[in-house]
Structure 1
Amino acid sequence: MAGSDTNRVRMTVARETTLGETPANPRMRSHRFTGEGLQYQPSFVQSEEIRDDRMNSDPIKVNETSQGPINGELSYPADQSPLSLFLESLFFNAWQNTPQRDNGGTADSVITGVTGAGGVVTVTAGAAFAVGHLVRLSGFAEGGNNGLFKITTGSATVPAVGAALLTDEAAPPANARMKVVGFEGAAGDIAAVVDGLTATTLNFTTLGLAVGQWVKIGGAGAAYRFAVEALNGWGRIVAITAGKLTLDNLPTGWAANTGAGKTLRVFFGDRIKNGVTMFSNTIERGWLAQAQPSYIIQRGMVTGQGEFNFESEQIARYVLTQNGLTGEVTVVSLDDTPEPVTQNRSMAAAVNVGRIAENGVSVGGPNFVRTLGITLNNNLRMLNAIRSDDKVGAVDIGSGSADVTVTMETYFGSKALLDKLFNSTPTNINARIAKDNQALIFGVPRITFTEGSVSAAGKNQDSMLPLTAQASKDPLTEAHLLLDRLEYYEN
């Protein structure tokens, strides 16, 4: 029975441009998962015919359904990976990526040359690289062409980092990548003020930053960070002008500092928030251990609900529930050689969670957090109709409200959080999880606690306060849920 082994099941994913239609010759990407309950199955009804022999006529197939959960461990969702695509589908929005170029497996295709004389990287047209952007180059054949560099000449096609920093490469290799990961000021230009950062030369409005976005202040090495270590931390942008980034959620001990002599580095990444645009995927599962592998293909799959769970001493986990239109069972794969799974390591709650904050302040003693859950439910509904296209299944998917629920279990060390429940005090929650110089930051910018009670269940136990909160529209970010991903940052 080895052909039925779950250890030989492969899941691959491709983005659709039209709901329910797999693109021609799709580029399938393999997905990492811990289990799945996807169901593609027919629906039957029993005939109501009355028979004098007390028997039943054959059941009648009336439809096909396609839905179910995908379970996984949270890791960095690399751009265009299945997890990244599922998140776009869940948020009903596209990632707002920092400028990037990637040869994507084909040498000399998107990044087409490096010229050492002026530090020019020649790329195909796309989002422009701006003066002051901090770019990370990786995957180049010349070792010195890999690393962090500051853009000195902005361009969409020929950005430059300055002379004598890069080495000529006529045809950058297949895995060459150029990605904006932050910004860097001139020596002494970026200073700390009581509510953020200021600059004289660098123009913050040219860098693609957004209100609600998170930044990591300070790079590796004394030259790239404030001398006062308390200032080299995280903050959230609440206002942007040419000469100032106003921040909240600042590190403990934040204070004004001129940054004298420092070419300060500040890291930021891609961002996404709940929106109104539906994104669908085709999902294929293959039972590869069978003598002739079987493939179940499900089309028009939209992520109706996402649950993200952080629990002490456990791996951070997610459940992404899919709702789809049609499918098929076949022996022909959509792509016999899909892209392999990503290699970013799984993240753990507690060990990799750098901060959970409520109302801008880390939730710590005496009300330490034991578990945190964030759920986004799109309230999808399948639209069934009489079809005339020789297909079976729903004809469309309707979307409802984007309901975000936060659950949190804390030790009942004080009544501070319980007071907010009884007083209906709006607040906010954010959680940062990071590993291997990559980070994810979940933000629910406006919530109201709606449930919670505390009791003493028995002796020799801790009294816990389980809380439930509902999100509402935040006037600053115009969102229920935000997620930042930093492809690279330095501590």
Structure 2
Amino acid sequence: MTSTNRVRLTGVAEATYGVTPNTPRMRKQRVTSIGLARKADYVDSDDLRDDRQNSDPTMVGESNNGSLGIEWHYPVPGSLLDSEIESAFCNPWINAPSRDNDGTAASVIQSVTASTQVVAVAAGAAFVTGQLVYFTGFGLSGNRGKLAKVTTGSATVPAFLGAGLVDEASPAGAARMKVVGFEGGAADIKAVADGLTSEVGGLDFTTLGLTIGGWVKVGDTATTNRFDTAGTNVYGRIVGIAARKLTLDNLPATWAADTGAGKQIRVFTSDVIVNGVQKRGVTLERGFMGQAVPTYIAQNGNRVNTLEFGGQAKQKATGSVAFMGLKGAKGPVSLDDTPDEAPDSAAYPVFAFSANCGRIGEGGQALGKPNYAKAVKFTINNNLRPIEACSNGDDTAPAPVDIEDGAFDVAVELDTYFGNGDLLDKVMAGTATSLNTRLEKGGKAIVWEAPRLTPREGDPNVAGKNQDVMLPVRLTASKDPLTGVQLILSRFELVR
């Protein structure tokens, strides 16, 4: 007997599509169902027989595909979910600078010197003056959980004067530094009608690694790091980046000008991923750990065909990841006997709609009274197809030789209460709009956004007695002139 509670799913991103890395570092994933399948493909014989019976079917090939059910949490950088998102978007994340010891003390983050407030790190993307860096996993409490401003930028020896860092000669294996925002000098950053400005001699917004279409959260919890106007300490989407001006849209009605007098305003920023054209695959392995000798089924060249994200009021954010792959193999030996654990559910809890949904925005404005949103779902479809050949040239299993993609289709399903005819008018006129959904929990947040959508279906639904009349709207994405893409996902490693 094999229990579903003893099935282990692991995976690894493929540096070369279709090739499992040598001695791969596999990572577990949190899933609610595993519907992967490695199967032989058969066709029936067309023999004509006078006894009305059938000849044996013929095995003609092999297929590797299937899907996973998931509950959405923060997609931790380097996790298997993170790699699957890259496969679905056919693009890598645009990540803010970071350093991570990744289990080996002092390997990347090499030392912290209190007297100079300098952190020695291995070379990588430079930390820039004015950026906010979040310190986690350090061995000493004086450094752990610190949010510090870069005062001297560097790729190897950034300084954080005034941060109060303490000497740590050998930072722990869990030590991580990640840019999560930026901070202006006293009265440097000001709020204007359509975004933020910086004084001459202050921050240069073009140096901070910001992305058009990405989201920001203005203001921290401390009075000195937020605007006095409470309604200005909110989220906005970046639509323009100049040296002294950061133009934002999707701002709430509460947004107002504020000079930020005497303040060192903090702004939290996000990593961003957008749709592209890169072929990115993962190798997946199922381990049936409840067996006396576990069976392992590995499948490589898995590309994400469809990815779903969504949910409804007072329910968890859920979805699925469906793959189309190349080859598979079964055996008694795992690709990695000691895979990395999946992201911890306490540190990275499941998001929920209602409780954690800060906003569902349509056409740049939050959906609210009287047309509240009841449910929303985003679906990516890469329209993948297997490339079958008479021979793959290496005398191995008769699996597809490649997986090719089609159009990057994005469908959005939005169910609203039918409070008035405004949204219905857009449906009937085919008026282009946009939709974004923000979830925030435990100091982390994600924002899904389709910046240009055409509403194609929608009619008030009268289902029966004692029910609310709903307007289910179905929309499809097309290329947005401003961002040049159809879908954007932003993730905040820290907001508060």
1:220-258 C-alpha deviation (Å, 9 max, x unpaired):
111110111111111111101000101111132211110
Provide the secondary structure at the position in 2 that maps to 1:145: coil
Partner of 2:185: 186
1:296-320 C-alpha deviation (Å, 9 max, x unpaired):
1111000011111221121100111
Provide the secondary structure at the position in 2 that maps to 1:420: helix
Distance in structure 1 (CA, Å) of the matches to 2:457 and 2:288: 44
User: TM-score, normalized by length of structure 1?
Assistant: 0.98
Distance in structure 2 (CA, Å) of the matches to 1:96 and 1:70: 25
Alignment map for 1:438-457 (pairs within 5 Å) = 438-457=444-463
Partner of 2:102: 104
Partner of 2:316: 315
Provide the secondary structure at the position in 1 that maps to 2:124: coil
> Aligned letter for 1:481?
L
Distance in structure 1 (CA, Å) of the matches to 2:381 and 2:43: 30
In the comparison of the two structures, how many residue pairs are matched?
488
Contact 2:376 2:412 in 1 (8 A): yes
**TM-superposed deviation, 1:21:** 1.5
Provide the secondary structure at the position in 1 that maps to 2:18: coil
Alignment map for 1:264-303 (pairs within 5 Å) = 264-303=265-304
1:350-399 C-alpha deviation (Å, 9 max, x unpaired):
11111000011110110111110111100001000022212220001111
- Indicate the RMSD between aligned Cα atoms, in angstroms: 1.2
Partner of 2:21: 23
Partner of 1:414: 420
Alignment map for 1:5-404 (pairs within 5 Å) = 5-50=3-48, 55-146=53-144, 147-162=146-161, 165-200=164-199, 201-343=202-344, 344-386=348-390, 387-391=392-396, 392-404=398-410
Distance in structure 2 (CA, Å) of the matches to 1:455 and 1:482: 30
Give the 3 Å change call, closer, same or farther, for CA 283–192 of structure 1 in structure 2.
same
Distance in structure 2 (CA, Å) of the matches to 1:18 and 1:233: 41
Contact 1:404 1:470 in 2 (8 A): yes
1:5-53 C-alpha deviation (Å, 9 max, x unpaired):
0000000010112222111000000000000211111111233345566
> Aligned letter for 1:389?
D
Distance in structure 1 (CA, Å) of the matches to 2:469 and 2:358: 25
Distance in structure 2 (CA, Å) of the matches to 1:108 and 1:292: 38
Contact 2:134 2:177 in 1 (8 A): yes
Contact 1:117 1:164 in 2 (8 A): no
Contact 2:252 2:366 in 1 (8 A): no
Runs of 4 or more off by more than 6 Å in structure 1? none
**TM-superposed deviation, 1:433:** 0.5
Provide the secondary structure at the position in 2 that maps to 1:485: strand
Distance in structure 1 (CA, Å) of the matches to 2:231 and 2:49: 83
Provide the secondary structure at the position in 2 that maps to 1:95: coil
Provide the secondary structure at the position in 1 that maps to 2:142: helix
Provide the secondary structure at the position in 2 that maps to 1:449: strand
Provide the secondary structure at the position in 2 that maps to 1:321: strand
**TM-superposed deviation, 1:322:** 0.5
User: TM-score, normalized by length of structure 2?
Assistant: 0.97
Provide the secondary structure at the position in 1 that maps to 2:447: strand
Contact 2:356 2:441 in 1 (8 A): yes
Please tell me whether residue 472 in structure 1 is matched to residue 471 in structure 2: no
Give unpaired runs (5+ residues) of structure 1: none
Distance in structure 1 (CA, Å) of the matches to 2:224 and 2:453: 40
Distance in structure 2 (CA, Å) of the matches to 1:220 and 1:67: 47
Contact 2:130 2:183 in 1 (8 A): yes
Contact 1:118 1:163 in 2 (8 A): no
Contact 1:116 1:163 in 2 (8 A): no
> Aligned letter for 1:388?
G
Which stretch shifts more, 49-58 or 31-40?
49-58
Provide the secondary structure at the position in 2 that maps to 1:143: coil
**TM-superposed deviation, 1:117:** 1.4
1:263-294 C-alpha deviation (Å, 9 max, x unpaired):
11000121000100011000001000000000
Distance in structure 2 (CA, Å) of the matches to 1:437 and 1:163: 24
Contact 2:229 2:256 in 1 (8 A): no
Provide the secondary structure at the position in 2 that maps to 1:374: strand
2:443 pairs with one of 437, 441, 450: 437
Provide the secondary structure at the position in 2 that maps to 1:88: helix
Identity across matched positions, percent: 50
> Aligned letter for 1:357?
G
Contact 2:149 2:163 in 1 (8 A): no
> Aligned letter for 2:352?
A
Distance in structure 2 (CA, Å) of the matches to 1:254 and 1:52: 83
> Aligned letter for 1:130?
V
Distance in structure 2 (CA, Å) of the matches to 1:53 and 1:87: 54
Distance in structure 2 (CA, Å) of the matches to 1:54 and 1:71: 44
> Aligned letter for 2:249?
D
**TM-superposed deviation, 1:77:** 0.6
Which stretch shifts more, 401-410 or 165-174?
165-174
Give the 3 Å change call, closer, same or farther, for CA 379–164 of structure 1 in structure 2.
closer
Give the 3 Å change call, closer, same or farther, for CA 153–421 of structure 1 in structure 2.
same
> Aligned letter for 1:360?
G
